[in-house]
Amino acid sequence: MTTPAIRNDWAVMAIFTVAVLTAPLWLAPIGANYPDLLQKFAIFGIFAIGFNILFGLTGYLSFGHAVFLGVGSYTAVWSFKLLTMNVIPAVILGTVMGGVFAVLIGYVSLRRSGIYFSILTLAFAQMSYNLAYSVLTPITNGETGLQLTQQDPRILDGPAGEGLPSTTLFGLEMSGYSGFYFCAVMLILAFYISLRIFRSPFGLKLQAIKSNQTRMKYTGFNTKPYLLVAFVISGMFAGLAGSLMAVTDPLAGAERMQWTASGEVVLMTILGGTGTLIGPLLGVGIIKYFENIFSALNEATLHAFFSFMPDWLANVMVAISSQFVGEGWHLTLGVLFMLVVIFLPGGVMEGIRRMTAAVRNLSKQKPTELEPKEAEG
């Protein structure tokens, strides 16, 4: 893989920026253009990008990344409760706390590699989850989740009016589309940082660690600090994502730290394409779309969908497909994940790359739309 020119990176950034900011438009045909889902796309996009910096570049598979997400959320909600409803301190503090936890957990976990590293991070995640769930109830409010109340001090804000205050960016309410655009700007920033890391000598060293750590050590590199820095950056991305979750919806629950949440980001990254810039975002899009849209389909909507068929055929189709929607959305996702892992080990990105190659073989001279993605791989 050659290092593409700077100019090319700017093109990537420009296309990415446009794609993110216009998401409400081009997601409309598939029914995914409502603020809550758009916010989720952006937030989990940041989470997955951060995870990919660790897993994609160094090959260290962290199975406890949701800890930093949860820490970021709790920190942000506490900032809303104690300081101000403005989102800037919440986002900064959430990111920093994510980093602090990453230093602590990373310092211990990175003493091992491979499966032992994964198990260590998983153990830390499960410990943190249980702490948040029951032991630290005064700080986390246990299963009920940490919520804003009328009595919170909010020392930087004036006395609260009637009803609960909402999160703001200097007066602009952070719900609905404004919340999405705030997350989108953060996503673009996060993507830019990730792009710079991928293209930097630091990124190259991380990739060298992935391909052969022993050789790196023989050439005189101490790999530990590089790994820890990658881990902390990745943790800060997760902390940022967690604080954004609290920004768009000021509530933090322990389930954000559960191992299933950690597993989800692994799935997203693998589904989309590990080690690619865009891949994790595609994975996020697919999983969140399934979780929110497929889980909401019921038999009535299916009947409407198949209404063009004769009655008996429509009934058969509904009977079959209803197993895969609604509460069965996990099944659909599982099937898709299997197909991708078996036939496209490089994730959706590999599919795109193969398609591009096929198109290019058909007409060698004609440039195609998908080319810029090719350069990112």
Please give the residue ranges that form the binding site for other proteins (CB under 8 A).
1-2, 4-5, 7-8, 10-12, 14-15, 17-18, 21-22, 24-25, 31, 33-37, 40, 133-134, 142-145, 147, 150, 162-164, 166, 175-177, 249, 251, 253, 255-256, 292, 295-296, 298, 300, 326-327, 360, 367, 371-372, 374-375
Q: Nearest approach, Cβ of 370 to other proteins (angstroms)?
A: 10
Q: How many helices (H) and strands (E) does the chain have?
A: 18, 4
- In the bound state with other proteins, the residue whose beta carbon lies nearer, of 36 and 157, is 36
Are 362 and 369 contacting, i.e. CB atoms less than 8 angstroms apart?
no
- In the bound state with other proteins, the residue whose beta carbon lies nearer, of 24 and 351, is 24
Q: Nearest approach, Cβ of 47 to other proteins (angstroms)?
A: 14
Q: Nearest approach, Cβ of 18 to other proteins (angstroms)?
A: 4
CA angle (173 as vertex; 170, 178 as ends), nearest 5: 105
Q: Nearest approach, Cβ of 215 to other proteins (angstroms)?
A: 25
Nearest CA to 94 out of 234, 242, 231 is that of: 242
For residue 144, give both structure tokens: 């009920």
- In the bound state with other proteins, the residue whose beta carbon lies nearer, of 104 and 371, is 371
Q: What is the Cα–Cα distance from 25 to 3, expressed in whole angstroms?
A: 33
Backbone torsions φ then ψ of 80, nearest 5 degrees = -65, -35
Q: Nearest approach, Cβ of 255 to other proteins (angstroms)?
A: 5
- In the bound state with other proteins, the residue whose beta carbon lies nearer, of 222 and 361, is 361
- In the bound state with other proteins, the residue whose beta carbon lies nearer, of 166 and 200, is 166
Are 214 and 85 contacting, i.e. CB atoms less than 8 angstroms apart?
no
What is the residue type of 73?
S
Backbone torsions φ then ψ of 51, nearest 5 degrees = -65, -35
